[in-house]
Structure 1
């Protein structure tokens, strides 16, 4: 917090003991969500609402020879059947935009409907619009697609072989982008000089986002105003507006995007997909509202997947445990098409490879590779879980090779001075990594866990693991508007979007403290591109940093104008005013006082002095210049049954430091949710493709999302190290659990299986995979 901000807080508003920021205020959003009163996209009904259903490719790679829509078009209730030819004839671009910065090729964007070729199973080939979803589904079954199958490739390493099928002529080796971080020569020399070199070949398993709510959109075209409105499951309404503008060749001013309640995002709802674009195209063409709601299987087939890295990594370490160098080579599967910036994302994942450690030399080479699989994009954590998994598995393996306590090896290499720049260019703002490690170990009873016997009375192998992590959070610009109404109530508008993060609660806490008014008098609005000047959205653990600071700055500006108005009303100099508990006073000049509501009423009427504009509101565009780095340590104790491969997580302790905590209860909820997803990756979830590109895990019968009984009680602990990058001193927390949990769980299981000589088991640690490892070890 700046000195000016501290001075303002000391002079105005509630005292520290009365502040809402830092208190576990109950979430105000939950009543509607829990009682069914919240409105989701699929709940929206409009007069004459039509339904859109896709005809999806049944094969992963094929040239389209013909699409016969005659039978479907003749069916009762069918309004239209679209193919790429219809999109092309309309002169609408019809292609989802991608970022080509830093690519080795110039691939086309994802077409709304397949052009001449399909490149993954489930790719939309045609779209049927009918009076209801049942007629649309029946008509979709009647569309006859003739295609000539081509060889497919699904593995990113196999895709680079000279004889592999080529997805794009412009990328004959299927490599979309190659990138490097760090210094190769320095790293090679340091690896060569190290006493030991620990090597691992790691798979970061492909995941499928499984939000409660699949993607959905309702589009309507106002022919009179020539304006498109799209209600959409979106994490970034303004971002979707821009992408729809490009896909449909419409000015952004002619598009309104509204995101109602959203049942889970996880990155999956932060980027553009064919569904919303096709619904908008059909609504404009037919002049009726059009709804598209993905089926669960459609979402699995053609929604963006996450992760899918194959990494060869080496860690140089000396006899005394000093980490010398880290060398990493990663092949990242990006699927069949780019979505947004997805092709470039693997290029920066290595910026977090240093973790909490002072590693002098790091080199990371990454290849983003096309395959005949669903496109890959950001999934909760977006590169940070992949990087931390590499670092923490190697450090865990090094401790085992050197026969050192894994905690002490980590402690001896932790960064202790801040700010600091790592060997891969990340500048950490603040931290106390050793304190976080100590607090986590104490809470878990590390020494007792380490002293347990190898096996328990049931014959299960016992293990304990930990993972330290650093998470880059925030980024970009965000808008925040604070408007006081004439009755003293306040509306806060932000360009972020809450889909579980609790913004309506946390933003109200921030503004209540800055204005000195009751939080119940503050409403929070998000998710409407017309009502909010601009917005970047909610992803990358950025909302509290960017959106929170934006509304805080706007609230301070409103408070200062309110002071000037109050000075006029009290006929006293501004500098002599005091403001406490929502009341302005000038005791040196008058016994009269004015409440914030009095001042707000005056701002819209007779109380505005000459030279001051009426109204009481402010708009701020907050831009984060420096990254804030959250950190923590998670500790896991497990028991592994060698007969069945079953893994029982007996303890899970999560210590996280996200700087100042606006609402500790919400922070803890975010941590628990992230850990649940991280355990899902470590233990259960994996998208599996057959060699011909058929997705074998295309439903919840085959794709194992963890149930409530699979997730242990998660014990949350915290340290608080404020960030110097912003006045609120906050860092992001929404993705921490997905970063720390996978390596912590895998480290624990590998520790349990160490007596069998097992060094590593790839995620997910299913009963079959663990049992196979035990069997191969000769147990």
Structure 2
């Protein structure tokens, strides 16, 4: 690819700057960090899902070769180490706050899930730590386990936390219940679905890792950690758990090999290793093995839902009613309480003009791994409910599913939703029109007949999604229960030679920020792309920021950088005006050149940058030397990416095997900075969404709480052979109206819109056999069973 013109970098498919180091093995991940006198940590984990800890005997293990220290929950409790906090407070419909039972760093009274930490062993090597682990004797009193989300709150079930009646964390409601019930009472047709959005295991390519050290010199800690938001990690660990001044804790998140939400949170391992590093006087490294990741990384989704859609005689949506039970797992993870509430129910309108919506969410504790944000975080669950209802209603009413969507699309903006959000802009018809064209829907019947001749069933399914990205503004989020601000920070430091360093509170773990953010700066300042460095992931170097999740990086982090660039431009114009003996109001700046309007007098950006640091002739009473500006940007609204996805499948009726033959995705992301990176993000999201639809499912044994899908032998991750060649296109787009770049966010879209399109397509293929519903994942066995059950009931 030829390099684009310097002044046209926004919108250019620039190759990623960071890829060279990754492809040549020069990346530095947490496990690559080697500190002087480094030791190694291994965690003893509970083999039981629910049990009292009667005693722990570590005497023999302490004598094992290479052991430096062994620490239990009682050791930490004895030093008043706090429990892990939850960052979002939800209230029940009766006004009472949610139950927040303790989340100890290391369990000391009870273990609440298989994999719960029971002890930390620190040794000279991983092998020696594992050898010592085998010598620890724990006496457990095993209790009944609660595993099933749907029945966790039933009378008579064992209590996960003694302080939480019926295992219910909260009962939350959102929307106008009276108006919704009234609309259902008058409906001409009601579509009802029982939906299970199954539990998923994130499985980032890099397992979690920590390397923690303590310095006697200044009584400070430094923690290298695979994490998506290091400042939040520092805040929670220092202020809420270890009771440290934040200045005494530096968190560094170096290169991170994927997160997908699972590395947003403060995990107990991070705290235990940090605390223990002072006890042993040496750095301690821990890198999760893949089997540990299955047992300790926060899981995703896990909803059981009854959803209803009311329609009038003309097929117009009049109301939606949703009752969801959401699993929190054994403990409240950092953002767990917000996922099935404010990030789920507020998106139940989708792209449609449904006037009345009411959602009730019951959050329950179970003896399973904690559940929190996973790519999309609430938005995929909402889209799945909406788009499955719409497609099912179309089939029940014998209306083309495209036509039913068109009858109900929002077409006037801004549009205030009955669930509290206001969409600022969009063009849903345009996305759907383009998707229909690219997918060649007009030729579907011909392809369906060809499949029939080959003994196969062919189906087509649709999904028109919308998501909310860049959660904001902070005051609204606070009113909804957020215990943190949701701004982002950017700092632009121009050096005397005109090169630029940008510090961002956002964090990159595969999204290409070092390229995208550099494109924004280079386009604005006219500086060569290679002269721009992006710094992130280090609380010792960057301003306080909120990290990366929820597709917020370019819309919030990029906007903070743009606001800082506004300040840089304003100051450089003053300097240029002084150098050229003109008024600042007469200075024009374009493509890295300052010009006095209407003249040929110019100064380059490098000239002005140098003058900022060599102020021999500065009016110092009016201007400070230097060129370093920062900004904290708090958005006034979410951004609302949207799109239309079309999936075409072929089903073998003899085996139930399903193959995706065509998949088309058309997205509206507003203005696009780098289309190549955007396309890659959509591809990745589609892989995860299709994986959920057809392959992935986290399964526990109902009686023991053992994780049955605890490895890649039992948990089916999608391979390249499972995925089709995608047809992906970014629509011309409707720019966001309230951020300076007009961007919306793209990182989660593929995972949000794809699953319902796949299931809708499979059900379209199976409809002639009488199959009306199918739960994810649509494995060959499930598809085959659904066909034969329908046949036997016919």
Q: Do they superpose with TM above 0.5?
A: yes
Instruction: Give the aligned partner of residue 353 of structure 2.
Output: 358
How far apart are the structure 2 equivalents of 1:342 and 1:65? Answer: 30
Instruction: Give the aligned partner of residue 296 of structure 1.
Output: 290
How far apart are the structure 2 equivalents of 1:140 and 1:766? Answer: 39
How far apart are the structure 1 equivalents of 2:148 and 2:38? Answer: 42
Deviation at 1:97, TM superposition (A): 4.9
How far apart are the structure 2 equivalents of 1:467 and 1:230? Answer: 43
The answer on whether the counterparts of 1:88 and 1:94 sit within 8 Å (CA) in structure 2 is: no
The answer on whether the counterparts of 1:637 and 1:649 sit within 8 Å (CA) in structure 2 is: yes
Deviation at 1:318, TM superposition (A): 2.8
2:172 corresponds to which of 172, 179, 198? 179
Deviation at 1:99, TM superposition (A): 4.0
1:196 corresponds to which of 179, 186, 189? 189
1:701 corresponds to which of 713, 718, 737? 713
1:750 corresponds to which of 748, 763, 779? 763
Are residues 690 and 53 of structure 1, via their aligned partners in 2, closer, same or farther at CA, if it must alter by over 3 Å? same
Instruction: Give the aligned partner of residue 494 of structure 1.
Output: 504
Instruction: Give the aligned partner of residue 457 of structure 2.
Output: 461
* 2:698 equivalent to 1:687: yes
SS at match of 1:629: coil
SS at match of 2:265: coil
Are residues 100 and 351 of structure 1, via their aligned partners in 2, closer, same or farther at CA, if it must alter by over 3 Å? closer
2:725 corresponds to which of 707, 713, 729? 713
How far apart are the structure 2 equivalents of 1:28 and 1:148? Answer: 55
The answer on whether the counterparts of 1:112 and 1:277 sit within 8 Å (CA) in structure 2 is: yes
SS at match of 1:532: coil
Instruction: Give the aligned partner of residue 46 of structure 1.
Output: 35
* 2:81 equivalent to 1:92: yes
SS at match of 1:472: coil
Instruction: Give the aligned partner of residue 476 of structure 2.
Output: none
Instruction: Give the aligned partner of residue 362 of structure 2.
Output: 367
Deviation at 1:100, TM superposition (A): 4.0
SS at match of 2:520: helix
The answer on whether the counterparts of 1:105 and 1:170 sit within 8 Å (CA) in structure 2 is: no
SS at match of 1:665: helix
How far apart are the structure 2 equivalents of 1:95 and 1:77? Answer: 30
How far apart are the structure 2 equivalents of 1:537 and 1:587? Answer: 41
Instruction: Give the aligned partner of residue 8 of structure 1.
Output: none
1:373-452 matches, cutoff 5 A: 373-450=368-445, 452=447
1:641-680 matches, cutoff 5 A: 641-680=652-691
SS at match of 1:682: helix
Deviation at 1:181, TM superposition (A): 1.2
* 2:772 equivalent to 1:759: yes
Number of matched residues?
764
How far apart are the structure 2 equivalents of 1:479 and 1:578? Answer: 27
Deviation at 1:88, TM superposition (A): 1.7
1:317-328 matches, cutoff 5 A: 317-328=311-322
Instruction: Give the aligned partner of residue 481 of structure 2.
Output: none
Please identify, of 223-232 and 455-464, the stretch whose mean Cα deviation from structure 2 is larger. Answer: 455-464
Are residues 40 and 607 of structure 1, via their aligned partners in 2, closer, same or farther at CA, if it must alter by over 3 Å? farther
Structure 1 residues 129-165: Cα deviation after superposition (integer angstroms, max 9, x where no partner):
0011111111112211111011111112211111111
How far apart are the structure 2 equivalents of 1:755 and 1:502? Answer: 46
Structure 1 residues 541-597: Cα deviation after superposition (integer angstroms, max 9, x where no partner):
1000111011111112111211111111112222222333322233767x5532111
SS at match of 2:566: helix
* 2:238 equivalent to 1:226: no
* 2:151 equivalent to 1:151: no
The answer on whether the counterparts of 1:97 and 1:243 sit within 8 Å (CA) in structure 2 is: no
TM-score w.r.t. structure 2 length? 0.94
How far apart are the structure 2 equivalents of 1:622 and 1:482? Answer: 14
2:519 corresponds to which of 509, 525, 528? 509
Structure 1: runs of 5 or more not aligned: 1-14
1:548 corresponds to which of 538, 548, 558? 558
How far apart are the structure 2 equivalents of 1:96 and 1:187? Answer: 36
How far apart are the structure 2 equivalents of 1:376 and 1:588? Answer: 62
Deviation beyond 3 Å, 4+ runs, structure 1: 15-18, 94-101, 103-106, 450-455
Instruction: Give the aligned partner of residue 71 of structure 2.
Output: 82
How far apart are the structure 1 equivalents of 2:554 and 2:439? Answer: 29
The answer on whether the counterparts of 1:462 and 1:639 sit within 8 Å (CA) in structure 2 is: yes
Please identify, of 650-659 and 450-459, the stretch whose mean Cα deviation from structure 2 is larger. Answer: 450-459
* 2:324 equivalent to 1:313: no
Instruction: Give the aligned partner of residue 338 of structure 1.
Output: 332
Instruction: Give the aligned partner of residue 213 of structure 1.
Output: 206
Deviation at 1:761, TM superposition (A): 0.8
* 2:271 equivalent to 1:277: yes
2:108 corresponds to which of 108, 115, 118? 115
The answer on whether the counterparts of 2:496 and 2:613 sit within 8 Å (CA) in structure 1 is: yes
The answer on whether the counterparts of 1:67 and 1:145 sit within 8 Å (CA) in structure 2 is: yes
How far apart are the structure 2 equivalents of 1:713 and 1:256? Answer: 44
SS at match of 1:111: coil
Instruction: Give the aligned partner of residue 480 of structure 2.
Output: none
1:630-649 matches, cutoff 5 A: 630-649=641-660
Instruction: Give the aligned partner of residue 6 of structure 1.
Output: none
